[in-house]
Structure 1
Amino acid sequence: MKSINNNAPVKCSKSITIHANSEKVWKVLTNIDRWATWQTEINKPKLNGELKPETTFDWKTGGAKIHSTLHTVEPFKNFGWTGKTFGMFAIHNWTLTETNQETIVSVDESMEGFFAKLFKKSFNKSLQTGMQNWLDLLKRACEK
C-alpha cells in the first residue's frame, strides 16, 4: 500500500468498528459507482474500468471535481487511491481488519500542494469532519 505523506500539511487518520464482516464492508466501500447512494457528500462517482490498481475514477465532493487513481486493491483488506484537484495531491487509504464478524475500518489521508499549505488549518478541520462523516455513513450502509 502506498503510504500517506506524514509530512503533508493536511492529514488525518480515523477508525470505526462496523458490525458486519469485511466482505460486506468491502462490497459497499469498493462499489465506487454506487457511492452516492449512501455517501451523501459525493456526486457522480464513476469508475473508469475494472477495480484494480492503475484504474482511474472521477467524482465530485464539496463542489470539487476529483480525478483519482487506484493504487491498492487487496480484497477485504486494503483499498487506496491518489487524487488530484485544484493543484492539490491526496493519498487516501482504507484498511479493513475483521474480528468476530465485526470489521475495524481505518482510514488515512494526506493532502499537499499550494492550497493545502495556504489553508492548512481549515482543510485539516474539514478533513477531520468529512472523514468521520464518511465512516459514520459507511457504518450505517453496512449495518442495514
Structure 2
Amino acid sequence: MTAPDWPAGLTPDRAPVHTRNELLVPLPPARVWQRLVAAPAWPDWYAGARDVALPAGRGELGPGVVFDWTTLGVRVRCRVDLWRPYAALGWSGRALGSTGHHRWLLTAEGDGTRVVTEEVQAGPVPAVGRWWLRRSLLGWHQRWLAGLAGGPGTAPGAGRPVG
C-alpha cells in the first residue's frame, strides 16, 4: 500500500476516476464496522449490492479475504487489502476492463462516526467513461452511506439493524 493506504498504481492523482463521499453516521465506530464487514448483508441496506459471496465458512470480511459480488450490475472479484479494525477497511478488485480500490475511513465524532468512502478506478473502461462513471459512483456511494446510517429508501430492508 502507498501512503495514505492506496495500492500502488491506484492513487487518486493517477487514476482516471476518483470519488469521495462522507457522512456523519449516528452509530459508534464499532457498529459501523460491524455493518461494513458483514458483507453478505449489504444487499439488505444497499440497493447497489447483490450476490455477495465469501469463502465457505466465512460470514464476514477479514484481512486478505477474497470475495465476489455484483455491484451496479457488474460482477467483481475483490480482495481485502486494508484492515484496521474500527478505523479503515478497503478492497481492490477487477472487472470489465477496470481495476479499482474502494476504502472506508471511520473516525469517532461525538456520539457517531464520520465515515469517508473513496474509490479509484483505472483501466480502459474508466478512461473512456470517466465522467459518467464518476457521477454514477458519487450517487451510489451516497446511497451506500445512507443505508449504512440506517436511512430510508436504499434497499427493501434499509434501516433494518444487522445482527
What is the TM-score of this pair, normalised by structure 2? 0.82
Moved segments of 4+, more than 3 Å = 141-144
User: Match for residue 65 of structure 2?
Assistant: 55
3-state SS of paired residue (1:122): helix
3-state SS of paired residue (1:51): coil
Q: Which has the higher helix share?
A: 1
1:97 matched to 2:104? The reply is: no
Specify the code of the residue in structure 1 equivalent to 2:35: V
C-alpha contact 1:52 1:72 (8 A) present in aligned 2: no
User: Match for residue 46 of structure 1?
Assistant: 53
Deviations 1:97-129 (A, max 9, x none): 012221000011100000110111111111111
User: Match for residue 5 of structure 1?
Assistant: 11
User: Match for residue 119 of structure 1?
Assistant: 129
- Corresponding residue to 1:64 among 74, 78, 100: 74
- Corresponding residue to 2:27 among 20, 24, 48: 20
| CA RMSD after TM alignment | 1.8
| Between 37-46 and 105-114, the greater mean CA deviation after superposition | 37-46
1:32 matched to 2:42? The reply is: no
Specify the code of the residue in structure 1 equivalent to 2:143: N
C-alpha contact 1:58 1:68 (8 A) present in aligned 2: yes
Q: 1:142 to 1:63 in 2, by over 3 A?
A: closer
The answer for unaligned runs of 5 or more in structure 1 is: none
C-alpha contact 1:14 1:132 (8 A) present in aligned 2: yes
More contact order relative to length (CA 8 Å, sep ≥ 6): 1
**CA displacement at 1:136 relative to structure 2:** 1.1
**CA displacement at 1:138 relative to structure 2:** 0.9
Question: Within 2, Cα distance between the matches of 1:110 and 1:41?
Answer: 17
Specify the code of the residue in structure 2 equivalent to 1:69: R
Matches for 1:122-137 after TM superposition, within 5 Å: 122-137=132-147
Deviations 1:13-54 (A, max 9, x none): 111001110111111111011111111121111222463222
Q: Which has the higher strand share?
A: 1
- How many matched pairs? 144
**CA displacement at 1:143 relative to structure 2:** 8.7
**CA displacement at 1:73 relative to structure 2:** 1.8
